[in-house]
Amino acid sequence: MKIGELAKHSGCEVETIRYYEREGLLPTPPRSGGNYRQYSEQDAERLLFIRHCRSLGMSLDDVRTLQQFQAEPERACDEIDALLDRHIQQTASQIASLERLQKQLQSLRSACHTHMSAQQCGILQNLQSAAASSDCVCHHEDSEA
């Protein structure tokens, strides 16, 4: 199949497929007589594997590592377990960071409750104070929590 067909089949942009080829996640496909890339069903499966890993937030290096294990199915999977444990820990850290951000935004939002002019808006005043290296309600309350 041609790259456009692979893109449609996988739901992946053509440029992303080319990028994965440049990164070595997809092998460079053979070319047809008309110089079109020719992909196999195995290439499509590999691309779907990559896309699934990426949808789980895995890095390209993680995907490469997993592909190495696919190529050597007799290897022990301890490294795969460790990879996933690291990814779970990174995800937990990101969740905690997003929760802190949410609290900061909620604190900032609480600085303005009524319909006012922009000049009187507590949100805008706090953002301007923070830009001037002063305390902002969103960071002040976060450090107390």
User: Mean pLDDT per 10-residue run, the chain (145 residues)?
Assistant: 95 96 94 91 96 96 96 94 97 96 90 82 86 73 47
Question: In a 3-state reduction of DSSP, which class is residue 79?
Answer: helix
Cα–Cα distance, 145 to 143 (Å, whole number): 6
pLDDT given for residue 110 in this prediction: 87
Q: What is the reported pLDDT for 145?
A: 43
pLDDT at site 121: 87
Amino acid at 99: E
Question: Which domains, from first to last, does the chain contain?
Answer: 1-72 (1.10.1660.10), 76-145 (no CATH)
Q: State residue 140's pLDDT score.
A: 62
